[in-house]
Every structure is written in structure tokens, then in C-alpha cells.
Amino acid sequence: MEPFEKTILVTRPYFPPLEDFKKACEKIWQNQYLTNNGPVLREFQQRLADYLRMDVKNLDLFNNGTLALEVGLYALDLSGYDVITTPFTFVATAHAIKRIGANPVFADIDPENLCLDPAACEKLITPRTKAIVPVHVYGHPCDVDGFARLSEKYGVKIIYDAAHAFGVKLRDRSIAAYGDMSMFSFHPTKLFHSCEGGLLTFADSSLQAKLEQLRNFAILSETKCIDVGTNAKMNELQATMGNLCMNAVDRLIAYRRSIHETYEKAFARCENIRMVNPISGNTNITPDDFSRNDAYCPVLFKDFETREKVYKELKKYNVFARRYFYPLLTDFTPYLGGNETPVAKDAAARVLTLPTYDNLSLHDVEKIASIVKEIAGESK
């Protein structure tokens, strides 16, 4: 097979039509407002509330997902406590916990959909545990019933890292409706973005005022600062990009479905390549309950050697897949020496995330899948 002439990355950002962006910027120039809760941000916030079918009082925008999570955890007074999370995630999840002065404790994941396993978390709950931060990894829904049970039994807060899960629905509600809080990342590598950005959704609308103070230094007036806040405000240009991406989001999700189906079909008869199942068999969630976003296309190979071979040799074809999530967070310097998490360790050794984005043609997806099969020694 011939290499691709163009570089195929694991993902590429969606760019709305430039003319639309220019036109939308005219509004900003007219408003003479660039940041600090401007009118475009408020419009974006309302559109998100409508899209997620939530009250606008139950969400807030930030300049990126990491700071959104950090501010959210801080607002819940978790500093000084243990917070259970997954090692199979992007490092920002644990950084947000650590940076507010809480202690991340790592629990193992579900072998099917690779999300944090409530049963593994329960074994690690102690009087010091005040919260759990599960990740809807790749947009796969966590066992929300299992985590709700832990919340009720032990009084722990559930804060979902939903960085990958924008547009996902569960039982006809947005995935944002589960737990005490959820964070969505609007980084351009995500299927929906605002150049950079983050969204917090929360069940308790009385948190909104506190979050808005914290994202603006916790300054209330010229002479009053009430807490150790930060600068985590989304600006008007980010909100403009968010509004324009909002116009395209359903189409973007639908197209990712076709890409996913193309890979699924190509790998259907492979013995040694399996697409990761978004729903775990260990939960009450059925395929009918779940409306997916196909944000990522993760596959598992039979062993580490095959995964490494495919990852490296794909580059010769100009295809840059990514090993999301390898290494585990417990292999990174700030988190060394965490609990043993054998399921996560095995997944990290075998997983590879294949390219998916708006401008990737299905013909190219078929070719990528054929190259992957050839390298992995799959003839079917």
C-alpha cells in the first residue's frame, strides 16, 4: 500500500466558514467587549443550556477544561481530602485534583469500555475520601448508576470529567445531567470546540455565583477579594468560535458515526483487533439508552508488541495515530507509586486511537484500516 501524500493526524480541528467568523466578529467590534462576561459569552451560555436541556443557572464557561475542573473541585471544598480517579486518562484530570491540594487515589477501570469501575473505587473509600472523579473516556458513558449508589452510600461527591463527552446522551438526557458536576473540554482536538474552552455543569445552581467569583480572581469589588480565585474566564472570541461550532455539532457527530462504522466494518472479522465497546456489560445501561458522539476511534490489539508495531509503522504511511492513554498517570513523575491497576495497565499497553475528523474521507478511513490490518498481520 502506498503512503498517504498528506499527513493524517489522529484528529484535526473543525473550522467554520471564515466568512461566518468575520461576520460574527463584527458583533464583537460593535459591542466593544472582549472578555469579562460579555454578551457573546452569555449568548453561548444560553445556547449550551438549550442544547443540553439544562437551566442556564446550572452551567458556567471557562477558558479551558483543566481550569474549569480545577475551579469546580475547589468550589466543592475538596482540598486536603482524597479524591478517587482513573489512571487511564489525560494528565489534566489528576493535575486538577492535585493543584487544589487534594490527593488523587487511583482505582482500576472497566475492561469493556475502559471507564473507572465503581466496584474498584468502593474498595478504596476511607473516611478521608470526599469525592470521585470518573472520566467518560472517549465519550463512553461511565456506570452512572454505580457512582450514584456510592454517592448515596458514602456521601461522596461525583464530578465527571466529561472532556470527551460533549453531545453524548443517556436515557434521553444529556450526560451532563448525571452526578454533582461535569466538565466538558472545548479544546480544538475535541469534536466540539471554542478554540480553547471549558464548560462546567452542576446540579446545585447555588454554586454558580461562587464559580463565577472564583474564575474572576474572587474579586467582588475594587476593595473586596474573598478567596484565592484565578483567571479562568472565557473571552468573546472563544465564545464566537463556540457559537459557530454549535451550528455544526450535530453534523460533526453524525459524520464521526460514519467513520466509526467504517472502521467497525473493516475490523469486524479480525481476531486480533477489536474496537473498544462504549458500553460496559457490567452496568444497567443498554445500547438503546445511549446516544453516542464517536469522539474517538480506539482499538485494542492482541498485545503490546503488535500495538507498538502498528503505532510505529503507521508513521511510514504518514498516519499519526495516538496511544491514548499510554502511559498510565501512575507512570508519570507526580503520580508514581499509586495503586496497582492491572486492567488499566493492560488496556494502556494494547490501545491505539485511530484518526477521526470532519475532513477525513471514508475512502481514507478504509485505507487506514487496511494498512492497520496489514501491519497487525490480519488477513480478513
Ligand X SMILES: Cc1ncc(COP(=O)(O)O)c(C=O)c1O
> 207 CB contacts (<8 Å, ≥6 apart)?
75, 181
Q: Which of 11, 58, 64, 283 binds ligand X (CB under 6 A)?
A: 64
Minimum CB separation from ligand X for residue 136, in Å? Answer: 8
User: Would you say 14 and 358 are in contact if contact means Cβ atoms under 8 Å apart?
Assistant: yes
Q: Which of 11, 86, 89, 194 binds ligand X (CB under 6 A)?
A: 89
Q: Considering the complex, state which of residue 168 and residue 376 has its C-beta at the smaller distance from ligand X.
A: 168
Minimum CB separation from ligand X for residue 31, in Å? Answer: 25
161 binds ligand X (CB under 6 A): yes
Q: Considering the complex, state which of residue 63 and residue 129 has its C-beta at the smaller distance from ligand X.
A: 63
Q: Which residues of 225-254 are buried (b: 16+ CB within 10 A; e: fewer)?
A: eeeebbebbbbbbbbbbbbbbbebbeebbe
Binding residues with ligand X: total (CB under 6 A): 14
187 binds ligand X (CB under 6 A): yes
* Cα(293)–Cα(254) distance, integer angstroms: 8
User: Cβ of 265: how many Cβ atoms within 10 Å?
Assistant: 12
User: Cβ of 269: how many Cβ atoms within 10 Å?
Assistant: 11
User: Cβ of 2: how many Cβ atoms within 10 Å?
Assistant: 8
Minimum CB separation from ligand X for residue 126, in Å? Answer: 25
Minimum CB separation from ligand X for residue 350, in Å? Answer: 19
User: Would you say 133 and 159 are in contact if contact means Cβ atoms under 8 Å apart?
Assistant: yes
* Cα(222)–Cα(242) distance, integer angstroms: 31
Q: Which of 163, 249, 279, 348 binds ligand X (CB under 6 A)?
A: 163
Binding mask 120-159 for ligand X (x = CB under 6 A): ---------------x------------------------
Q: Considering the complex, state which of residue 89 and residue 201 has its C-beta at the smaller distance from ligand X.
A: 89
Q: Considering the complex, state which of residue 185 and residue 243 has its C-beta at the smaller distance from ligand X.
A: 185
Q: Considering the complex, state which of residue 238 and residue 262 has its C-beta at the smaller distance from ligand X.
A: 238
Locus of grid cell 491505539: 352
> HSE of 153 in the Cβ direction (CA atoms, 13 Å)?
12
User: Would you say 357 and 340 are in contact if contact means Cβ atoms under 8 Å apart?
Assistant: no
Q: Which of 38, 65, 139, 355 binds ligand X (CB under 6 A)?
A: 65
Q: Considering the complex, state which of residue 135 and residue 150 has its C-beta at the smaller distance from ligand X.
A: 135
Q: Which residue is nearest to ligand X (CB)?
A: 65
Minimum CB separation from ligand X for residue 168, in Å? Answer: 13
Positions 193 through 212 that interact with ligand X (CB under 6 A): 198
Query: Alpha helix locations (H) across 124-194?
Result: 144-154
**Strand runs labelled E in 53-94:** 59-62, 82-85
Q: What is the residue-wise DSSP string for 266-288? A: HHTT-SSEEEPPSS-TTSS--GG
92 binds ligand X (CB under 6 A): yes
Locus of grid cell 450535530: 250
Q: Which of 45, 58, 85, 93 binds ligand X (CB under 6 A)?
A: 93
Among 30-38, 61-69, 355-363, 364-372, the segment contacting ligand X (CB under 6 A): 61-69
Q: Considering the complex, state which of residue 183 and residue 273 has its C-beta at the smaller distance from ligand X.
A: 183
127: buried, middle or exposed (CB in 10 Å: 19+, 13-18, 0-12)? exposed
Q: Considering the complex, state which of residue 85 and residue 280 has its C-beta at the smaller distance from ligand X.
A: 85
179 binds ligand X (CB under 6 A): no
Among 85-93, 111-119, 147-155, 312-320, the segment contacting ligand X (CB under 6 A): 85-93
Q: Considering the complex, state which of residue 89 and residue 129 has its C-beta at the smaller distance from ligand X.
A: 89
Positions 249 through 288 that interact with ligand X (CB under 6 A): none
* Cα(179)–Cα(220) distance, integer angstroms: 29
Closest CA to 174 of 53, 46, 49: 53
341 binds ligand X (CB under 6 A): no
Query: Alpha helix locations (H) across 8-38?
Result: 18-31
* Cα(31)–Cα(9) distance, integer angstroms: 38
Minimum CB separation from ligand X for residue 14, in Å? Answer: 15
Q: Considering the complex, state which of residue 292 and residue 367 has its C-beta at the smaller distance from ligand X.
A: 292
| Interface residue list for ligand X (CB under 6 A) | 64-66, 89-90, 92-93, 135, 161, 163-164, 185, 187, 198
